[in-house]
């Protein structure tokens, strides 16, 4: 009885938090999106650590990965990076696999630089219900060293690390220390049965991420109710550009408009806005990093996605969309306004990416 009472209370808090967070978004008709009437073959992979029904997502999502001839390993599904990164010791017959040369991937949120060699191999990703998808042979970064950036937030250098497993499925990540993070390194765009950019297949190159799992492939039924945003093509890489967003801190108007990253790999929000939005609203945290003061309001509007936006106050633990912390970041190779929403975005919305047609989509959970 006590367990049921706690569960009911958590579900009630989630519903109330979503209602408050979504109330600022205007109610509009959904934007037209791509035609999925001929698509088929989508596979749903429940996360191994999916929250119970009615409870919020508070942790980075996990799936299992296995290589031919080897056992399964648990790893993180990360929309904030592109590429499969696994400890070299976890890849069977590592020394016999085809090699593409040295490589590295830097995670800017933590400052970890994972170094190794690109090998070519198929891999299988599995969910909590035993469902799985297998890729064509594709590049995998076999990690044999971890280094740290000069401004690393959470990093310890290591040689021959074990337990590394990250499945980066994001897009438009090349500018953020991930020049090798092109779509051919994305496991969910290279599943057996999918087409290629030159020859599209019935199984669409894309996915839907929710609190409970990831749908690999897209079809008409799974994409109902989404509001779509058409992406621009990257002028440099064979990829799409980042999704647009407008950001307002403490009610500042007009908002600062730039790009967003829906990042399942972190629980902290990373934010960059013009200094005038921040005046009087920041302080250093325990690690000396500049963060927004508790109680400061943040409002996000997904530009072009009709009716999609939310707001929260920093530190509001009753709001499931509020990140654990909001860290302010400095300008880099992409100096415009920017927000990394954190995985808690999934407590308000399902998130869609269509690599074939170049769309992102958002579906408010209270609209399902």
pLDDT top residue among 145 and 109: 145
Query: What mean pLDDT do residues 307-324 have?
Result: 93
Residue 366 confidence (pLDDT) = 74
CATH number reported for the structural domain that contains residue 170 in this entry: 2.40.70.10
Residue 27 in any domain: the answer is yes
Range from 67-81, 116-130, 238-252, 331-345 carrying the lowest mean pLDDT: 331-345
Q: What is the distance between the alpha carbons of residues 184 and 188, in angstroms, rounded to a whole number?
A: 10
24 and 57 housed in the same domain: no
CA distances from 80 to 210, 289, 338 (A): 15, 21, 13
Query: What mean pLDDT do residues 282-307 have?
Result: 89
247 and 201 housed in the same domain: no
pLDDT top residue among 298 and 330: 298
170 and 299 housed in the same domain: no
Q: Which pLDDT band holds residue 178 (cuts at 50, 70, 90)?
A: low
The pLDDT of residue 265 is above 60: yes
Residue 146 confidence (pLDDT) = 84
Of 162, 184, 205, which residue constitutes the final position of a domain? Answer: 205
Q: What is the distance between the alpha carbons of residues 39 and 37, in angstroms, rounded to a whole number?
A: 6
192 and 340 housed in the same domain: no
Percent of the chain's residues with pLDDT above 90: 64
Residue 22 confidence (pLDDT) = 54
Residue 59 in any domain: the answer is yes
Burial of 5 (0-12, 13-18, 19+ CB in 10 A): exposed
Instruction: Quote the mean pLDDT of the chain.
Output: 87
Confidence (pTM): 0.88
Residue 48 in any domain: the answer is yes
Query: What mean pLDDT do residues 129-142 have?
Result: 95
Residue 128 in any domain: the answer is yes
254 and 336 housed in the same domain: yes
Residue 235 in any domain: the answer is no
159 and 101 housed in the same domain: yes
Residue 10 in any domain: the answer is no
Q: Which pLDDT band holds residue 332 (cuts at 50, 70, 90)?
A: low
Q: Which pLDDT band holds residue 54 (cuts at 50, 70, 90)?
A: confident
The pLDDT of residue 314 is above 90: yes
| Structural domain for 301, as ranges | 20-32+240-367
pLDDT digits (tens, 9 = 90+) for 72-101: 999 999 999 999 999 999 999 988 999 999
Range from 17-31, 151-165, 185-199, 213-227 carrying the lowest mean pLDDT: 17-31
Query: What mean pLDDT do residues 24-36 have?
Result: 60
pLDDT top residue among 24 and 110: 110
Q: Which pLDDT band holds residue 289 (cuts at 50, 70, 90)?
A: confident
Of 158, 185, 205, which residue constitutes the final position of a domain? Answer: 205
Q: Which pLDDT band holds residue 123 (cuts at 50, 70, 90)?
A: very high
Residue 11 confidence (pLDDT) = 46
CATH number reported for the structural domain that contains residue 300 in this entry: 2.40.70
Residue 121 confidence (pLDDT) = 97
Residue 25 confidence (pLDDT) = 44
275 and 313 housed in the same domain: yes
28 and 48 housed in the same domain: no
The pLDDT of residue 27 is above 50: no
262 and 195 housed in the same domain: no
The pLDDT of residue 181 is above 80: no
Residue 136 in any domain: the answer is yes
Of 205, 220, 253, which residue constitutes the final position of a domain? Answer: 205
Residue 283 confidence (pLDDT) = 87
Number of structural domains, the chain? 2
61 and 197 housed in the same domain: yes
Residue 231 confidence (pLDDT) = 96
Contact 57, 346 (CB under 8 A): yes
Residue 230 in any domain: the answer is no
The pLDDT of residue 172 is above 70: yes
The pLDDT of residue 275 is above 80: yes
257 and 319 housed in the same domain: yes
27 and 53 housed in the same domain: no
């Amino acid at each position: 009885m006590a367990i049921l009472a706690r569960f009911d209370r958590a579900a009630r808090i989630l519903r109330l938090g979503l209602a408050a967070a979504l109330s600022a978004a205007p109610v509009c008709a959904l934007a037209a999106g791509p035609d999925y009437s001929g698509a088929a073959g989508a596979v749903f992979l429940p996360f191994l650590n999916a929250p119970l029904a009615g409870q919020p997502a508070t942790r980075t999502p996990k799936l299992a990965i296995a290589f031919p001839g080897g056992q399964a390993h648990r790893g993180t599904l990360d929309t904030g990076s592109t590429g499969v990164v696994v400890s070299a010791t976890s890849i069977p017959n590592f020394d016999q696999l085809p090699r593409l040369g040295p490589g590295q991937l830097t995670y800017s949120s933590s400052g970890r630089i994972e170094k190794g060699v690109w090998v070519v191999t198929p891999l299988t990703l599995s969910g909590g219900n035993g469902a799985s998808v297998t890729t064509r042979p594709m590049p995998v970064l076999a990690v044999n060293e971890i280094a740290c950036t000069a401004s690393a937030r959470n990093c310890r250098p290591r040689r021959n690390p074990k337990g590394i497993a990250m499945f980066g499925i994001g897009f438009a990540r090349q500018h953020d220390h991930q020049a090798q993070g092109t779509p051919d390194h994305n496991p969910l765009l290279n599943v057996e049965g999918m087409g290629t950019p030159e020859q599209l297949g019935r199984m669409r190159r894309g996915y839907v991420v929710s609190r409970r799992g990831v749908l690999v492939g897209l079809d008409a039924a799974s994409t109902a109710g989404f509001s779509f945003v058409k992406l621009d093509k990257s002028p440099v890489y064979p990829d799409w550009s980042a999704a647009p967003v407008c950001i307002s801190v403490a009610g500042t108007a007009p908002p600062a408009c730039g790009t967003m990253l829906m990042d399942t790999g972190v629980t902290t929000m990373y934010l960059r806005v013009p200094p005038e939005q921040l005046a009087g609203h920041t302080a250093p945290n325990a690690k000396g990093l500049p963060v927004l003061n508790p109680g400061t309001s943040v409002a996000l509007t997904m530009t072009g996605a009709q009716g999609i936006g939310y707001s929260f106050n920093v530190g509001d633990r009753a709001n499931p969309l509020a990140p654990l912390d909001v860290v302010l970041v400095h300008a880099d190779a992409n100096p415009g306004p920017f927000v990394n929403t954190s995985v808690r975005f999934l407590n308000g919305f399902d998130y869609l990416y269509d690599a074939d047609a170049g769309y992102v989509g958002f579906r408010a959970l209270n609209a399902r």
